[in-house]
């Protein structure tokens, strides 16, 4: 199988590191390959939403599996705009990385894939539209993976505590789901081999308040957690504040039932324990 990745971001690169040997050829896009020293040995193509090169278009055309992690913009999905013609009517496997943010605010109640998206924010509306566009492009045969808050090596509460940037923002009733990149990678591989299309939530078993994660990481490190800050009075960017606009507990039952995924890190504690043992935050 030949794999092409539209958007070699954090999760996609981790997938290549863990499952790249399953493919006969792997290539993907980044905004500027010359600025990336973490892509050694990987065929990287420049793509920033403008017109792609003929070589890039050909690679997309030849791919058996297309993994898409480029987010939509204000004018729609740039990958579909650039490659839609070559993708129409194809039989290749399309896996699109979306977000559980499409569910919006449910006051901490449980939601699953049957819950209609709530497009209250502009970025949510753009994401829902992108999901549908990829389904239309694949004639209903795309796999839509709605990812929870992503963490893993170099991107976790241990690292932010060590860097001195962690904060304990307290908003009563606020809960999030998370997902370790190891489990994202295994889910993508399961989706590649799944015979049909559909939507699956990719999240852990235990949605929890954000301050609980910071506190647990601090316990592992043997340090005091940052002081608590009330959400209403906390200084933060509009983007950061918007992430607190939604509170929901997201079910992963369908992921386990239909894709057969067994989570390596079913809770944030499992994930942080493994990262601490690997040397994160030290």
| End-to-end Cα distance, the chain | 39
Name the CATH topology of 2-153+178-204+249-264: Rossmann fold (3.40.50)
Distance CA 77, CA 132 (A): 11
The CB density around residue 263, as the number of other CB atoms within 10 Å, is 21
Structure tokens at 155: 């991107």
Q: Is 241 left (phi over 0), alpha (psi -120 to 50) or beta?
A: alpha
Q: How many whole angstroms separate alpha carbon 148 and alpha carbon 215?
A: 20
For strand 149-151 and strand 178-180, is the pairing parallel, antiparallel, or unpaired? parallel
Question: Phi and psi (nearest 5°) for 280?
Answer: -65, 140
Taking alpha carbons only, the member of 130, 74, 76, 136 closest to residue 98 is: 130
Residue 124: HSE in the Cβ half-sphere, 13 Å Cα cutoff:
17
Q: What is the pLDDT of residue 18?
A: 96
- Whole-prediction pTM: 0.96
CA angle 145, 4, 195 (to 5 degrees): 50
- Among the listed residues 205, 209, 197, the one whose alpha carbon sits nearest the alpha carbon of residue 244: 209
Instruction: Determine the longest span between alpha carbons in the chain, in angstroms.
Output: 56
- The DSSP letter of residue 41 is T
Angle at 114 between CA 210 and CA 238, to 5 degrees: 35
Q: How far apart are CA 67 and CA 250, in angstroms?
A: 23
Q: Is 19 left (phi over 0), alpha (psi -120 to 50) or beta?
A: alpha
Q: What is the residue extent of each domain of the chain?
A: 2-153+178-204+249-264
How much is the pLDDT for 89?
67
Query: What is the C-alpha to C-alpha distance for residues 18 and 22, in angstroms, rounded to an integer?
Result: 9
Per-residue pLDDT at 39: 73
pLDDT in tens, the chain (282 residues): 999 999 999 999 999 999 999 999 999 999 888 777 777 778 999 998 878 999 999 999 999 999 999 999 888 899 999 998 888 766 789 999 999 999 999 999 999 999 999 877 788 899 999 999 999 999 888 999 999 999 999 999 999 999 999 999 999 999 999 999 999 999 999 999 999 999 999 999 999 999 999 999 999 999 999 999 999 999 999 888 888 989 999 999 999 999 999 999 999 999 999 999 999 999
What confidence score (pLDDT) does residue 242 get?
A: 85
């Amino acid at each position: 199988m030949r794999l092409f990745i539209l958007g070699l971001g954090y999760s996609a690169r981790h997938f290549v590191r863990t499952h790249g040997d399953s493919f006969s050829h792997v290539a993907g896009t980044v905004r500027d390959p010359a600025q990336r020293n973490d892509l050694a040995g990987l065929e990287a193509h420049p793509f920033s939403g403008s017109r792609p090169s003929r070589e890039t278009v050909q690679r997309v055309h030849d791919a058996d599996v297309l993994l898409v992690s480029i987010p939509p913009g204000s004018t729609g999905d740039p990958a579909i705009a650039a490659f839609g013609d070559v993708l129409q009517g194809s039989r290749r496997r399309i896996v699109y990385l979306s977000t559980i943010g499409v569910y919006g605010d449910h006051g901490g109640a449980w939601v699953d894939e049957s819950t209609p998206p709530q497009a209250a924010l502009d970025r949510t509306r753009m994401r829902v539209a992108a999901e549908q566009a990829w389904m239309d492009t694949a004639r209903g045969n795309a796999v839509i993976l709605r990812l929870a808050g992503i963490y893993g090596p170099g991107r976790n509460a241990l690292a932010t505590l060590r860097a001195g940037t962690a904060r304990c923002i307290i908003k009563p009733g606020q809960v999030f789901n998370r997902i370790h990149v190891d489990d994202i990678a295994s889910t993508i591989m399961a989706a590649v081999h799944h015979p049909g299309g559909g939507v699956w939530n990719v999240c852990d078993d235990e949605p929890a308040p954000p301050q609980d994660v910071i506190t647990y990481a601090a316990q592992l490190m043997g340090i005091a957690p940052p002081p608590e800050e009330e959400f209403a009075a906390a200084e933060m960017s509009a983007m950061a504040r918007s992430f607190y606009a939604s509170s929901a507990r997201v079910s992963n039952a369908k992921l386990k039932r239909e894709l057969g995924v067994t989570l390596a890190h079913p809770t944030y504690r499992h994930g942080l324990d493994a990262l601490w043992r690997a040397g994160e935050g030290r």
